[in-house]
Structure 1
């Protein structure tokens, strides 16, 4: 039902619960039993979306794989998830304790990843990790948004661009005198 809701709400943000039930193949009674109000559905969509991102980060084997490999996998995994979220990725995070817990877990995983990258020397030891995290989130978000408009670019290619930009920037290396 959440996948159907995500698809339908992307095409028609004003879609009713009845329309979502029809799109998902569920009965009207079933959707109202699971989501008595539209707000309940939006909270469920937030939980689902953030939960999928947490699962994607966990699948990167942060701490178990070499840092650069984990960075690439985390980036690719999250891009793939976000591209698949039609409507939910545009939602403001729900004011919900489960969403808050998931967001904390997401931030902890991403921070652990960048800390490991810094510890292993992939990211400069004096880099501001809060800023690096902000940049990482922004790059992944833009890559996912681009991925929805370009069928020619794969998640691996977008992840490579994100990781390269995060680690090396866009400037020209300066030569030593």
Structure 2
């Protein structure tokens, strides 16, 4: 793909993610204009809003996969891996704000990928519990749900938080708020 075509595709996907998260009925013409490309450019690549949304979902999943890989959830010490994960997933969530639940209903292949990513995080939180870093009286599923909520809060309810600070807060809250007494 030519460099200008790659830039245009990236602009359309990122703009589409932002605008469709704000208003799912946003027109393709509005997305094209906001991305700084011609409508025909968008329609040539994505004949329907659903096709564009599917591509946005795939781009979000690709980004999430990179974050999970870079966090080294299996190899790194739990606190280090958790910090890496949060520091990467917060900006990724801000960049790709589309609702994952819609993605899972709309695209079965994306749903399978998202479930695999979710299972990686489940195993990681279970590892934290197995290593004694979480209180034994707190169900692992509760700790996982808390992690998801903390990440969501850091990414979307506190957009002024820089990712390293957000990661500090999430790690401290999860490991000390749910940590062993």
Normalised TM-score (structure 2): 0.79
Which of the numbers 92, 96, 103 marks the counterpart of 1:93?
A: 103
More helix by share: 2
Show structure 1 runs of 4+ deviating over 6 A.
Answer: none
Which of the numbers 155, 169, 177 marks the counterpart of 1:169?
A: 177
Q: SS at the partner of 2:41?
A: helix
State the aligned residue count. Answer: 169
RMSD: 2.6
Higher mean C-alpha deviation, range 74-83 or range 20-29:
20-29
Q: SS at the partner of 1:98?
A: helix
> Unaligned regions of 5+ residues in structure 2, if any?
1-11
1:156 corresponds in structure 2 to: 164
> Unaligned regions of 5+ residues in structure 1, if any?
none
2: CA distance, partners of 1:102 / 1:91? 13
Deviation at 1:78, TM superposition (A): 0.8
1: CA distance, partners of 2:103 / 2:146? 19
Which of the numbers 110, 114, 117 marks the counterpart of 1:103?
A: 114
Normalised TM-score (structure 1): 0.80
- Is 1:32 matched up with 2:77? no
Deviation at 1:10, TM superposition (A): 5.4
